[in-house]
Structure 1
Amino acid sequence: MLWLLTHDQYALLGRDGVAREVWKLYFHWYGVLRHGAFPSGDQLWQYPPGAGAVLLSPAVLPGLTYFQAFVVLTLLTDAVIALVLTRAGTRPGHTLLGAALWTAGLPLLLHIPLARYDVQVTAFAVVSLLTMSHSPRAAGAFAALGALVKVWPALALIGTPRGRTTRQAWTTALVTAVTLLALMATLFRHPFDFLRQQGGRGVQIESLGGTVLMFARRAGWPGRTRYQYGAVEFVGPHVHQVAFCSLALTGVAFALMLLWRLRNRRWTPATPYDAALSAVLLFTVTSRVISPQYMIWLIGLAAVCLTSRHTTQRPVALLLLAATAVSAVEYPAYYEEVINSTWTGCVLMLVRNGLLTIAAVVSLVRLWRSGHPLAERPEPDAPSWKPDRIPALFRTGGELPLNR
């Protein structure tokens, strides 16, 4: 991955486009943040205030350039994730498959993980889930820290067992988030400007809605692509309707996860892990944006699931590995094909998003069934035995007469 990052000037590796995110955009934001303010009026800044801490973190390594320090810290975070997955996998009832999935799955994205801060975000969610069984308060704190950086780690708490664990985890998460937000609002100017930019986003070409519009474009739809809000998005007739449908589907996904939580009757040691993966998968698939780095989140959560022998998500992990491999083909290698909606680009996005959609459906179905085991359901054809239908001789413990 490091070698690819140092040779990304080649066409198949993005012509410096992958690394440019760090040494140009992140470094620009770093300069703004150092002066005590979050980027204001910047369409590209769409991240919660906690992201500022991650972008400022390369300052702890003053002997390196910003780009070098960022990559070093990302590698250290990668090592931390591998370490906690390995430790979790060596506990009784667990397995090292999770650590293996993370180690083998992350390089499928080529050098992208080293030039984005999604590895750091994933670390918060992974640690939150793996600490939940023995310290719900720590799990809540880590989930809140991750949510302040990129929102989605809050979903790590959706599968907490009912009762004391949920109260402790969710209360700690709320207190941590409110406290840190108040602190950031005191120390920095414009901490909530990201909300205005996030609301203006449209339909990114790599999203599920974008795939629909790509095929519509091949069929004669007059829309086009344009770089805005930090991504290549579709503009033209009916784009707003597609964006609205994506938001509506996200609402449906939230309702499904809420219904699952209310009706779930059985918690296993892997239920919090499985629920977190299912929730993030549903929200990713229904999002208006599905960037390749989003696969880092899913690989990390799938790796947590595989640390437990009780998980229901093994088939989902395989589907995610396949989708990750396709993601690396469409970006950066064939991104121009995707932008121009050629048949190659259309097929690549159909395969990638199709795999993600199948994975989301399989994940939710298996999660739902694990909370409603078949063993608890009455057999429809089984006879209904009642005491009054048993012969009195057997109920009283008498002896059968011998017929000589």
Structure 2
Amino acid sequence: MKFRTIGLWGAFLAVHILIAWQGWAYPSQPMGDVVLVYEPWSAAALSGGSIVGITEPWVYPQLALLPMLLTQLLAWPLTALVGMPGAYLIGWAVLITALDAVAFGVLVGRTGSAPRRSAGWFWTAALLLLGPIAMYRIDAVTVPLAVIGGFWLVKRPGVATVLLTIAAWIKIWPGALVLAAVVAAKSRMRVLLTAAAVSAATVVVLFLRGADRHLFGFLTEQTGRGLQIEAVAATPFMWMAHFGAASVDYSFDILTFQISAPGAEVLAAFLTPLMVLVTLAVVVLGAVKAMRGASFPRLFPPLTLAIVVTLIVTNKVGSPQFQTWLIAPVVLWIIFDRTRSGVPAGLVLALCGLTCLIYPLTYDALLRTELLPVLLLTVRNLLLVVLLVISTRALVRVPTSHISARR
């Protein structure tokens, strides 16, 4: 193993230790979801009580419960043998670090080519800038699965699709990589059939477990929620709240802070169909490029990033962990087409840093709609729109075989 690769591994693991500690040290309990909701959900399932997604509706796809249950297993020795407080949080940090390490090993390899090392440094920097939110959310489980799955799409499309589909059944966003692969990859039928088979098998197992009424509750549970304060579309309302013309209220139903203002509910209802329309437009653009002979390495990265950013920009929710979704598409862009990945990579790093400044560092002040955090949120959300424009422009500029032939 080369010295440069050893140094990269050292930095990657050191960052995980740092952000694990930040979860305990930073304000606003950035590890709160793990101990306040993941642990009780998994404990109830193990004790024979209610099982989220099976016996009651849930905001996540059902396979999200698996890493929560696995963390109970990792935490058991610390709890049962030494009675260590916070054992579940430690188990979660160990789980995420282990999953990331496996994906990092696949990405960088033993010696690590220049693009693979660059991708590794980008991932390390993104985690460092985003802070504890990059570890203490269910989304952190899906990032390494998305990295491995996206990386293997060319040489192992079947295995890659299995991983990506499982990731989508943990948190929906990795489905964007499956959708982009169906459009951009030559093995698109294999990808499509594999994803359908894995999803069908998952549905059958869940149905047999008794999830018939709540099988797709993770889709319907989100429809009635309001406009979350960190969403891109909520930015004007946060300025209204700063000047006293709107308010920030807590929803006990979905455990989040939302905007209360004239027009906010109407806009929230409009965002979901807008998301569908914009995503469809991006996919159609990618399909046109694919039909005209665009190569996978040039087409897949901007198409994937454009779809993922669309899911964030048009979302009525703006949770800070959404920024983790951007890591895998940019890692893959660096791997497949490093010379054109600089601008999106820089923007994503800036987004990670701004998001950490907003949550958890100034979140209490944001709830009071003070000037600095509202300004930081505005800049962050504007950069998300810029990233959508840049990724879409890159998609438009992807060369096709017809253009190459003329050249």
Q: 2:208 aligns with which of 170, 186, 190?
A: 186
Relative distance call for 1:135 and 1:41 in structure 2 (3 A) is closer
Question: Which residue pairs with 1:356 in the alignment?
Answer: 384
Relative distance call for 1:335 and 1:133 in structure 2 (3 A) is same
State how many pairs are aligned. 375
User: 1:47-68, CA deviations, whole angstroms, 9 ceiling, x for partnerless residues?
Assistant: 0111111211113323133222
CA contact (8 A) 1:222 1:236 kept: yes
Q: 1:20 aligns with which of 6, 10, 32?
A: 32
Question: Which residue pairs with 2:133 in the alignment?
Answer: 112
Tell me whether 147-156 or 304-313 shows the greater mean CA deviation: 304-313
Question: Which residue pairs with 1:309 in the alignment?
Answer: 337
Distance 1:96 1:222 in 2: 47
Tell me whether 315-324 or 296-305 shows the greater mean CA deviation: 296-305
SS at match of 1:150: coil
- The residue type paired with residue 215 of structure 1 is W
Tell me whether 141-150 or 263-272 shows the greater mean CA deviation: 263-272
CA contact (8 A) 2:234 2:259 kept: yes
Distance 2:125 2:307 in 1: 23
Question: Which residue pairs with 1:63 in the alignment?
Answer: 77
Ranges in structure 2 where 5+ consecutive residues have no aligned partner:
1-15, 79-86
Distance 1:23 1:149 in 2: 18
1:236-247 pair list within 5 angstroms: 236-247=261-272
1:1-400 pair list within 5 angstroms: 1-3=16-18, 5-6=20-21, 13-15=26-28, 17-34=29-46, 35=48, 37-39=50-52, 45-61=58-74, 62-64=76-78, 65-87=87-109, 90=112, 94-160=115-181, 165-189=187-211, 190-228=214-252, 229-264=254-289, 265=292, 266-309=294-337, 312-372=340-400, 375-376=403-404
Relative distance call for 1:233 and 1:27 in structure 2 (3 A) is same
User: 1:204-251, CA deviations, whole angstroms, 9 ceiling, x for partnerless residues?
Assistant: 111111112112223552443224413211123211122133224312
- The residue type paired with residue 198 of structure 1 is Q
User: 1:357-393, CA deviations, whole angstroms, 9 ceiling, x for partnerless residues?
Assistant: 10111011112211458955979xxxxxxxxxxxxxx
Relative distance call for 1:69 and 1:95 in structure 2 (3 A) is closer
Relative distance call for 1:85 and 1:163 in structure 2 (3 A) is closer
CA contact (8 A) 1:207 1:287 kept: yes
SS at match of 1:345: helix
CA contact (8 A) 1:158 1:272 kept: no
- The residue type paired with residue 197 of structure 1 is E
Ranges in structure 1 where 5+ consecutive residues have no aligned partner:
380-404
Relative distance call for 1:188 and 1:19 in structure 2 (3 A) is farther
User: 1:277-310, CA deviations, whole angstroms, 9 ceiling, x for partnerless residues?
Assistant: 2210121111111211111121222112112236
TM-score (norm 1): 0.84
Relative distance call for 1:222 and 1:206 in structure 2 (3 A) is closer
Distance 1:294 1:241 in 2: 23
Distance 2:388 2:95 in 1: 31
SS at match of 2:61: coil
SS at match of 2:180: coil
CA contact (8 A) 2:133 2:321 kept: yes
Identity of aligned residues (%): 23
* Larger proportion of helix: 2
Question: Which residue pairs with 2:81 in the alignment?
Answer: none
CA contact (8 A) 1:138 1:169 kept: no
Question: Which residue pairs with 2:84 in the alignment?
Answer: none
SS at match of 1:2: helix
Shift of 1:259: 1.8
CA contact (8 A) 2:142 2:174 kept: yes
Q: Radius of gyration: which is bigger?
A: 1
Question: Which residue pairs with 2:5 in the alignment?
Answer: none
TM-score (norm 2): 0.84
SS at match of 2:77: coil
Relative distance call for 1:127 and 1:270 in structure 2 (3 A) is farther
SS at match of 1:151: coil
CA contact (8 A) 2:50 2:56 kept: no
Distance 2:170 2:319 in 1: 17
CA contact (8 A) 1:88 1:94 kept: no
CA contact (8 A) 1:128 1:143 kept: yes
SS at match of 2:262: coil
Relative distance call for 1:150 and 1:353 in structure 2 (3 A) is same
